[in-house]
Each structure stands twice: as structure tokens, then as C-alpha cells.
């Protein structure tokens, strides 16, 4: 039997298919776009699985359209992270629209979690908008920030206010790399705050698209003085978690 997991996020949709042993047999990714259900439909058409479970902010839409069970992003990320790194009990997930810190018991069960407020502060979307303002590609944003030679403090956490703060820094003649580093630092401070509220030590598994940003990882490690583990495909962790939970639900039944 094959088990699917689909993560319908604000920026992208990921689909992962695993076999009965939990081995990944397929993974797909697409932009969410304006019509997430038709995107999801296309992805489902091009894969093969027997059962599927949905997660991400679009999960309830998927549940209605495809009559599939759902799980929250929090449990999905926690499940996938613990599956791949069962000696880590803290997870940080920074996605397009929200960020969360999760603490686990040694059994992998969720002990506590924190989620960002309703705005885009400290999320992938924040970094994406700022990269664009500074003329960097999102893939390159972290590497460029690491080349900064001095520290700039960006105090605004709000995407809208930070944008105007960045404009005034540009006007003052600050270099884009330094501003970029300041922006990363503001996201790191927020993420570290969330982590500290749920757990005080041990390795951290960093998931979600922002985990691919080298500057975020380095600065977080430095700030928290804790080891950070990045899974091979951090963006697929939500989908993998849903697939693993789908497998577990169906194994329990039979």
C-alpha cells in the first residue's frame, strides 16, 4: 500500500508518497497560486497512492473537496521531524505564512507549542518581501546577508513598518547586505523567543522553507547556542508527516 501526505501551505503545496516501510517513493511541489484545489488535483492526478491525509492551512478545503482526513501542520511537522531525528525533541518550523516552535516528549508526543500571531512577522513571507525590496533572490538572500561586514539593528517586526525602515536605511546609504543581515536578525530574535518558551536545551530540527536559508541557520545556532539539524528536504516535512500519519492511521485499522 502507498500513503500520501499533502501540505497545502500559503506559498506552496507539497505532496509526498511513502510505502508501507515509511520509505519515500515520490515527492512533488507546486506553487499554491489562486486556486489551490485545482493545483492539488493536478498533483494527485500525477501520483499514485491508496490513502492520503492533508495538512497546511488549506487542509479543510481539501477535506471537503477530496473527502480525506486532516492533521494540523504542528502535528505533521512534529511527526516527520521525530521520524527522521528521534534524538531531537524541539522543532522550529518557519513557513510562508506562520512560524511555530514545538517541544516533544521523549516518546515523540507533543508537549507544548507556540505559534506566531496573525501577521506575517517572522515568517518566510516577511523574508521574501524584504529580499525583493533589496533586489536579492530569495534563494540567495541568506548567503548575501552572511557577507555583511557590520551589524544593523532593525527594530520593526511588522512587515509593513520594516519595509519603511528598510527604505530609510537605503536612503541613509547602508548596503543591502547589511540591511539583509539586520532583517535576518529580527526574524532570528523572534524565532529564538518562541523556541525558548517551549524548550531550553538539546538539538533543534529546523523545518519549512526558511530552513534552507543559510544565514537563518547560522544566526539561530549562534543565538541559541544549540545544535540545529536541517532535514534533507525541509519544505517537504509537513507533507511527509501527513503521509506518516496516514500510514499509521491505516495500519491501526487493519
> Among residues 12, 32, 72, 88, which is the contact residue for other proteins, using CB under 8 A?
72
Q: Pick the binder of other proteins from 3, 62, 75, 231 (CB under 8 A).
A: 75
**Distance of closest approach, residue 163 Cβ to other proteins, in angstroms:** 21
Grid cell for residue 102: 514545538
Q: Please report how close the Cβ of residue 35 comes to other proteins at its closest, in angstroms.
A: 18
Between the alpha carbon of residue 238 and those of residues 6, 71, 152, the distances in Å are 8, 10, 34
| Shortest distance in whole angstroms from residue 192 CB to other proteins | 18
Report helix, strand or coil for 111.
strand
Q: Name which of 70 and 235 has its Cβ closer to other proteins.
A: 70
Site for other proteins in 94-113 (CB under 8 A): 98, 109-113
**Residue whose C-alpha cell is 509593513:** 160
Residues 2-21 that bind other proteins (CB under 8 A): none
| b/e sequence 10-32, b meaning 16+ C-beta within 10 Å | bbbbbbbbbeeeeeeebbbeeeb
- In three-state secondary structure terms, 55 is strand
- Alpha carbons 201 and 81: distance in angstroms, whole number: 17
- By beta-carbon proximity to other proteins, the closer residue of 38 and 60 is 60
Dmax of the chain from CA atoms?
Answer: 66
Binding characters for other proteins, 110-149, by CB under 8 A (x = yes): xxxx-x-xx-------------------------------
By CB under 8 A, how many residues form the interface with other proteins?
16
Residue 215 CB burial class (10 angstroms; 0-12, 13-18, ≥19) = buried
73 or 165: whose CB is closer to other proteins?
73
List the interface residues with other proteins, window 30-69 (CB under 8 A): 57, 60
Contact set with other proteins (CB under 8 A): 57, 60, 71-75, 98, 109-113, 115, 117-118
Amino acid at each position: 500500500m502507498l500513503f500520501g501526505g499533502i501540505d497545502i501551505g500559503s506559498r506552496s503545496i507539497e505532496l509526498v508518497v511513502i510505502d508501507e516501510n515509511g520509505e519515500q517513493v515520490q515527492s512533488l511541489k507546486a506553487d499554491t497560486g489562486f486556486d489551490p484545489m485545482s493545483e492539488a488535483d493536478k498533483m494527485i492526478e500525477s501520483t499514485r497512492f491508496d490513502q492520503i491525509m492533508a495538512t497546511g492551512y488549506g487542509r479543510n478545503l481539501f477535506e471537503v473537496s477530496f473527502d480525506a482526513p486532516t492533521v494540523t501542520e504542528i502535528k505533521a511537522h512534529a511527526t516527520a521531524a521525530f521520524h527522521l531525528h528521534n534524538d531531537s525533541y524541539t522543532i522550529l518550523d518557519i513557513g510562508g505564512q506562520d512560524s511555530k516552535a514545538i517541544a516533544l516528549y521523549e516518546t515523540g508526543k507533543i508537549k507544548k507549542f507556540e505559534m506566531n500571531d496573525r501577521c506575517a512577522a517572522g515568517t518566510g513571507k516577511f523574508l521574501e518581501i524584504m529580499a525583493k525590496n533589496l533586489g536579492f533572490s530569495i534563494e540567495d538572500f541568506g548567503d548575501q546577508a552572511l557577507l555583511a561586514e557590520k551589524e544593523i539593528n532593525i527594530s520593526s517586526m511588522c512587515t509593513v513598518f520594516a519595509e519603511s525602515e528598510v527604505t530609510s536605511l537605503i536612503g541613509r546609504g547602508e548596503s543591502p547586505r547589511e540591511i539583509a543581515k539586520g532583517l535576518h536578525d529580527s526574524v532570528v530574535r523572534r524565532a529564538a523567543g518562541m523556541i525558548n518558551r517551549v524548550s531550553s536545551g538539546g538539538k533543534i530540527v529546523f523545518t519549512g522553507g526558511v530552513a534552507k536559508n543559510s544565514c537563518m541557520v547560522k544566526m539561530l545556532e549562534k543565538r541559541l547556542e544549540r545544535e540545529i539539524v536541517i532535514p534533507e528536504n525541509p519544505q517537504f516535512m509537513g507533507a511527509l508527516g501527513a503521509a506518516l500519519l496516514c500510514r499509521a492511521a491505516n495500519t491501526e485499522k487493519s
